[in-house]
Structure 1
Amino acid sequence: MCAKNSFLTPPGVEIYASGHRGWPTQVKALMVAHTLEPVATVNAVADRYGVQPHQLSAWRRLAKQGKLVLRSGTGP
């Protein structure tokens, strides 16, 4: 694990030896909610959280299908 990334990682995110991260559902939902803000873009939100834009887009698809629940009032 890179020291640079460890302090930038949101709480609850598991970092595996392979470098993959396990994101908690509530963090995924928060990221998706940020993409729904009026001037936000998927690329900007993905960059802010350090995820790939295609991964964030996949989570948005899950949210649209009702498989990733967004709570009302989700915000910083």
Structure 2
Amino acid sequence: MPAQNIPTDRRDPVPETGTLIVDTRDNRVGEFRGVAGPCWSLRPVCGGAEWEAEPEHVRPAEPIERLRAETARANARSRGEYL
């Protein structure tokens, strides 16, 4: 039985929840949260509203992008801003 909301014709493997992904339309890094119809839901690393991105417009974050995102999250958490 296929998982819900995941099209069977998808060529791109669906990442694990929490994987850092780059939305190439606006070069934003977000955490993969799940599949919403034909789109993937991404959440800003430092918290905030989720947004949807089409799988053809995303790519895995490179090591330097992951480091920057994790540093930004740690800094936000130290200031009490991270939820």
- Normalized per residue, the structure richer in strand is 2
- Normalized per residue, the structure richer in helix is 1
Larger RCO (alpha carbons 8 Å, 6+ apart): 1
Same fold by TM-score greater than 0.5 = no
Q: Normalising by structure 1, what TM-score?
A: 0.31
